[in-house]
């Protein structure tokens, strides 16, 4: 039998390095003020002007680091302004 490496109760105790908070498609959509389905549509079309590229593609789906999203927003703001 395989032991759990991290128990559910301990998940909130794990320190995540600053800027490496992980966002899934739902969290990214909330962050950008769009719908999750819109994120998934942009993702399927590789429309990187509308959303940042995912940092990792996991079995559960793509994930983005908070720091990467923040940098993408800053670069995008410089182009718009």
29-76 residue pLDDT tens: 999 999 999 999 999 999 999 999 999 999 989 999 999 999 999 998
What pTM value is reported for the model? Answer: 0.74
Please report whether residue 52 resides in a domain: yes
Q: Which domain holds residue 61?
A: 19-80
Instruction: Tell me the C-alpha distance between 79 and 81, whole Å.
Output: 6
The CATH number covering residue 43 comes to: 1.10.1660
In-domain check, residue 7: no
DSSP assigned state of 44 = H
User: Which pLDDT belongs to residue 77?
Assistant: 85
Whether residue 10 is contained in a domain is answered as no
């Amino acid at each position: 039998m395989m032991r759990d490496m991290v128990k559910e109760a301990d998940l909130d105790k794990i320190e995540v390095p600053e800027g490496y908070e992980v966002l899934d498609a739902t969290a990214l959509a909330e962050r950008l003020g769009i719908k999750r389905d819109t994120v998934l549509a942009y993702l399927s079309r590789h429309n990187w002007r509308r959303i940042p590229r995912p940092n990792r593609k996991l079995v559960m789906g793509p994930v983005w680091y908070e720091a990467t999203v923040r940098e993408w927003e800053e670069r995008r703001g410089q182009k718009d302004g």
